[in-house]
Structure 1
Amino acid sequence: MAKIIQTQRGGEIPKYNSAPLPFMGQKRRFVNHFREALREFSSATTFVDLFGGSGLLSHITARERPDARVIYNDFDDYHIRIENVERTNAILTEIRKMLTGIPRSAKVSADAKAQIVALLKERARTGFVDYITISSSILFSSHYATDLRMLQKESLYNNVRQIDYICNGYLDGLEIVKYDYRELFDQHKQTPGVVFLVDPPYLSTQDGHYDNYWALSDYLDVLRVIDGRPYIYFTSNKSNIIELIDWMQSNSIGRNPFKGATRREFSVKSFAVKYADIMLYRA
């Protein structure tokens, strides 16, 4: 895919500790550990965020290392959502008015839902609609829709955000591109001083809000990227990928790309699910 135009430099980059718009899987729990890990790569000149997602890792890297080149692979077009944030705020203002009198977290009536759907249809005719951000305000907690058809199937709830979203400067200092991660890796694998930021979808899950299902073979392909190269890599104990690689090495089936890496973990509890998010890095 072709390169997307956006490189901005100049002045101090505003500091965000989480992505300004909703995105499943952003690494806000790792912000401090990630900043600490970046200090181990003081001689790096280029950071390539292969699975850019919400851009949080790229944003933090540009903030911590303004001297370095930071390439954000925005395969999910998050920058388009950022660019349209004022339009999104205006839509949410109208939805707030429609839900006046409906208690917080209460289910939205059929009439109010019909009004919201009609509003979104109209706005879609005249420009971009950020269904993910808007749906986070009118669906059950932590649920998202990527289009109107998906939204219409759901019951709506009054979880509307009461203040505007602010995204000023979030993408400053980044080179924004859109490639398959393999192609982007091939472009930079010989770049002197390069470090790869690698946050692939979890094994046997959908990719964030989107429909790309990741199987074991996809996950193992990613390990070719970090083998023998400087990296900061994210996974979860839900995937058991680290145990798999350890087993392969102990049975002389392959080399372990995580050998010698520093490891940080965060326990996560969401509803009835408990797991650990994991960051590994090797300079």
Structure 2
Amino acid sequence: MISNSHAGERWVEDSSEPEIPLLGGDVTEGVVRVGTTVRRPMGRNAPFIHALLQHLETVGFDGAPRYLGVDAAGREVLTFVDGEVAGRPYPAWIADERRLASVGRLLRRYDDAAVSFVEPEDVTFVLPSDPPELPPAPAHESELIGHLDVTPENVVFRDAAAYALIDFDLVRPAARVDELYNAMLYWAPLNDPRDVDPMLRELDAPRRCRILADAYGMSDRDRGRLVEVAVLRTRRSWHLMKHRAEVDGGGWQRMWDEGVGDVIKRREAWLDRNGAAIEAALTAA
């Protein structure tokens, strides 16, 4: 792996290196490993993401890939972050509470590093279009550029602790409570049991929310509004996923065809039944 410890790394194209497909993502296809690098197709916000990754490197955050440039095929080149990543079906260690707490600590480190990011004048973040019937968003202002895709597939572990976040394709302006909801969604998890991986199905979701919150250092204000944010984000998610499937196709369409809309509807009902228990766990003295 190329070192993540300093700026100014140099990458040289080597056509003799084989391309090894990297699996696990739901949307981005064509991601490969080439030696100590990862090659990815560039999305609509590639320049913005590259600037963010360079900012993270500048401020000393070592829990993300480094952006190295563009290869001869027009793909972005990133450092390959070596370590352990959960594939599907998830391994038994996905339920470990020490690993869970380490995810909260890593996310806090990322957010603290991202909060000082300033969008370069020559780079514009492009928001995807929203469907006209989209329900309202939570009434809070953005605080930073959130990762907002803290799935088990996007967290690299070393020595049984969360070491790095990968796949920054879904970054966008967000509040810290949005980041924590996103992490809890996948790691608590916040879903109807029928839609949860077997390794996470029998766990105490409110307790795991509290573990994440404590490890992150979640504010009292955000603990009190987490459930409301979860419900509002879930309602919006159904419309957004349907819209992305219709407009962008690809992995979005595949997920919709596989029933993600029904999963989201069941999640909303599950949150209605369990929201009080989650809030009690988050706010208990």
TM over 0.5: no
TM-score by length of 2: 0.28
Greater gyration radius: 1
**Greater share of helix:** 2
TM-score by length of 1: 0.28
